[in-house]
Chains A and B, each alone.
Chain A
Amino acid sequence: MSVDLRWSEQEEAFRVEARAWLGANVPRGLPSGDTRAGFAAHLDWERALSDARWSVVSWPARYGGRDASLWEWLIFEEEYHRAGAPQRVTQNGIFLLAPSLFEFGTPEQQDRLLPRMAAATDLWCQGWSEPGAGSDLAAVSSRAVRDGTGGGWRLSGQKTWTTRGAFCTHLFGLFRTDPGAQRHRGLTYFLVPLSAPGVTVRGFERLDGDEGFAEVFFDDVFVPDRDVLGGVDQGWRVAMATTGSERGLTLRSPGRFTRSAGRLVELYRARPDPALRDRVVQAWIEAQAYQAFTLRQVTSIVDGTPVGAESSLNKLFWSELDLRLHETAMQLLGAEGELDGPWTRGFLFSLAGPIYAGTNEVQRNVVAERLLGLPRK
């Protein structure tokens, strides 16, 4: 059978188990995980997930997962959002770094880092953007030079827009190891504890007022060789695998958007405005389309075709869907739209979607050049 959009009995059983556990355990009313107090509360939740082995369901059991299939992972995500469970403050580790660790990490790195990540003991943030390298990631100038002892590297420079950097314990980032190499060449992917001497972290407010951003300064920070991921000067290749995860389905599964669309439908029922009805329906349709697209994509992954530049299609679609959906909600709220609340916070966050994980303008270039084959210059 090559097409069957039904879940198997085993998959349904997995759903039932996930739903029951989430129903009994999801905490209500946590403060934002992008504030210091909120982050601590979220860690309790992350550790509860980990204790019950729900924090990283698709990982091997030896690292704290359940060996769940990609399909089961989608089901878990759907149930997670359906239950109204909190944001995952561990996401940059478990959803972005981990896929690259599985692909490029040594067994020693995997054994050392993955269980601590699954247990929310090590909390990872991303160190890519710099003051002079945003959309143009290949322009990073933070550098790593060989340490005199020969056992590692010395990092210097500055990273910025680091999400939850002020609350995390570790950073994965790109540094220039070959000063003579241009652009994408000569970059290396480092794994750095933020407690290392020479690291300074300064948190600052995002648009929504939470201290969700940080600048991270590196002043001659020693990193041992064992914390290079994927080989010296091979950082771009590893980073591109990470961005594929970030743009595509591992960070943004369809359950998130079918749930938001469902909430929008509920909001409309409570505050109907015929002028906005079609926009509510359109959001629901687009969430269904993202789901259908994802099911096709996962089938193709299961069949052995890795997702490449197609992840830019995901990113363009979900980020614009999310923004339109929240704009519609804000209009449905009428005068109350200016009050602080879940929709307002969601709206502010949706504005970040077309920026993070590579701006949508860059994604359109990727789609045009790599999927449509248009000339680069």
Chain B
Amino acid sequence: MRFGLSDEALALREAAAEVLASEVPPAVVRAGWPGGDGGLVGAAWRKLAAVGVIGTLLPAEHGGLGLDENCLVPLLEEVGRSGLTVPAVETIAVAAPLLPADQLAAVLAGETLVAAQLTGGDLVPYGQHAPLIVLCDGDTLRLYDRGSLPLTPVSTVDGSRAVARLVARPSAGDGVLLTDEPAAVAAAWQRGVLGTSALLVGLARRMLDLTVGYVKTREQFGVPVGSFQAIKHALAAALVAVEFARPMVLAAGWAQAARTADAAAATSAAKVLATDAARLVARTAIQCHGAIGYTTEYDLHLYAKRVWALAPAWGDANRHRAELAESLGV
């Protein structure tokens, strides 16, 4: 028994964090919004690709790092924390291990992003611009060129997610078959849920840090507002939520990597805790900031809106609780 981070996981996290710290200031997060300079986002993604992260789950002979879900979690926590607007989970965790060789090089280089919609719903995050899109068609995963799908842009809470609505399902047999093995389809789904949980934990940490920094310096009644017990208690509750979600997400990553029988249950538990923690932190962060937190000029909204977009993505907390209820026999 040992529950720490491996040297590989630490090294990957550190390499990613270094790139993200220098390449993804809040201005680059904003650049992902409509009217922003999307080229800045693409450039940051390519820098991240240059340290190899997109191939995290691919074996070395396919140009990857040969790592597993234990490393995926800390990596995606950092990506989430940065706020970078890219389908990182879909590209790194869901699609990369399944892509055909002819598509892989451009994806690994950070030139091509991959969007994915595996719930059977018709909203495709990043469907407005990701060149490749993975859809779940019954029991199979298929890859489509964006141009071949009838997609209409929609306006969403986090405008940088560039969501498109699929107005009609593709005809049977269109696109490229990625896998029709039930276990592989289920594993891809679980990796998506896991990755999204990690993003949520990262976003929660970012908002908490931002808020702690703010309440230490913002003065009212002649003292920092962070000295008031009402603020302390709200932020302590937020930290508890994050600190207990975090190990559960890591544990789910381990369960997936080790292919344990309870991997699906651990993954659902992780998504529930990460979603609820991130929602709590978003609401607490805005409240503790006061009116400045309720503006778009201040950066907090960028991370909060990502949380509200990711909370329902890859199954919301209720769906995952329902799946757990099923497996617990209640």
Instruction: State whether these chains interact.
Output: yes
CB-CB nearest in chain B for A312: B236
With contacts A1-B2, A375-B216 taken as known, whether A368 is within 8 angstroms of B235 at the C-beta atoms is: yes
Q: Does A123 lie at the interface of the complex (its beta carbon under 8 Å from any beta carbon of B)? A: no
Q: Which of A30-38, A107-115, A183-191, A276-284 contacts B (4 or more CB under 8 A)?
A: A276-284
Instruction: Looking at the assembled complex, report how far the CB atom of A260 sits from the nearest CB atom of chain B, in whole angstroms.
Output: 14
Question: 1/0 per position for A281-315, CB-CB distance to B under 8 A?
Answer: 11011101110110110111011000000000100
Question: 1/0 per position for A104-144, CB-CB distance to B under 8 A?
Answer: 00000000000000000000000000000000000000000
Q: Does B291 lie at the interface of the complex (its beta carbon under 8 Å from any beta carbon of A)? A: no
Measured in the bound complex, the distance between the Cα atoms of B158 and A151 in whole Å is 73
Q: Does B309 lie at the interface of the complex (its beta carbon under 8 Å from any beta carbon of A)? A: no
Question: 1/0 per position for B306-317, CB-CB distance to A under 8 A?
Answer: 000000000000
Q: Does A4 lie at the interface of the complex (its beta carbon under 8 Å from any beta carbon of B)? A: yes
Q: Does A3 lie at the interface of the complex (its beta carbon under 8 Å from any beta carbon of B)? A: yes
Contact: A269 with B1, CB < 8 Å?
A: no
Residues of B contacting A296 in the complex (Cβ-Cβ under 8 angstroms): 3-4, 247, 250
In A46-92, the 8 Å CB interface with B consists of 71
Instruction: Looking at the assembled complex, report how far the CB atom of A369 sits from the nearest CB atom of chain B, in whole angstroms.
Output: 7
Residues of A contacting B247 in the complex (Cβ-Cβ under 8 angstroms): 289, 292-293, 295-296
Instruction: Looking at the assembled complex, report how far the CB atom of B264 sits from the nearest CB atom of chain A, in whole angstroms.
Output: 13
With beta carbons under 8 angstroms apart, the residue of B3, B237, B269 that contacts A299 is B3
Q: Which of B30-38, B104-112, B318-326 contacts A (4 or more CB under 8 A)?
A: B318-326
Q: Does A365 lie at the interface of the complex (its beta carbon under 8 Å from any beta carbon of B)? A: yes
Measured in the bound complex, the distance between the Cα atoms of B272 and A363 in whole Å is 25
Contact: A281 with B328, CB < 8 Å?
A: yes
Contact: A284 with B328, CB < 8 Å?
A: yes
Measured in the bound complex, the distance between the Cα atoms of B215 and A179 in whole Å is 38
Q: Does A21 lie at the interface of the complex (its beta carbon under 8 Å from any beta carbon of B)? A: no
Instruction: Looking at the assembled complex, report how far the CB atom of A170 sits from the nearest CB atom of chain B, in whole angstroms.
Output: 35
With beta carbons under 8 angstroms apart, the residue of B5, B233, B272 that contacts A3 is B5
Q: Does A5 lie at the interface of the complex (its beta carbon under 8 Å from any beta carbon of B)? A: yes
Instruction: Looking at the assembled complex, report how far the CB atom of A373 sits from the nearest CB atom of chain B, in whole angstroms.
Output: 7
In A234-279, the 8 Å CB interface with B consists of 265, 268-269, 272, 277-278
With contacts A278-B318, A282-B272 taken as known, whether A292 is within 8 angstroms of B3 at the C-beta atoms is: yes
Contact: B233 with A285, CB < 8 Å?
A: no
Contact: A282 with B212, CB < 8 Å?
A: no
Q: Does B232 lie at the interface of the complex (its beta carbon under 8 Å from any beta carbon of A)? A: yes
Q: Which of B80-88, B187-195, B223-231 contacts A (4 or more CB under 8 A)?
A: B223-231
Residues of B contacting A335 in the complex (Cβ-Cβ under 8 angstroms): none
Q: Which of B167-175, B238-246, B293-301 contacts A (4 or more CB under 8 A)?
A: B238-246
Q: Which of A6-14, A212-220, A348-356 contacts B (4 or more CB under 8 A)?
A: A6-14
Residues of B contacting A28 in the complex (Cβ-Cβ under 8 angstroms): none
Q: Does B102 lie at the interface of the complex (its beta carbon under 8 Å from any beta carbon of A)? A: no
With contacts A367-B240, A374-B216, A376-B227 taken as known, whether A71 is within 8 angstroms of B245 at the C-beta atoms is: no
Contact: A1 with B6, CB < 8 Å?
A: yes
Q: Does B261 lie at the interface of the complex (its beta carbon under 8 Å from any beta carbon of A)? A: no
CB-CB nearest in chain A for B277: A289
Question: 4 tightest CB-CB pairs across the interface, nearest first?
Answer: A368-B232, A2-B6, A364-B236, A367-B236
- List 17 interface pairs A-B (beta carbons < 8 Å), by A numbering: A2-B4, A3-B3, A3-B6, A268-B330, A278-B318, A280-B325, A280-B330, A288-B269, A293-B248, A295-B3, A300-B4, A316-B240, A368-B226, A368-B235, A372-B232, A375-B227, A377-B227
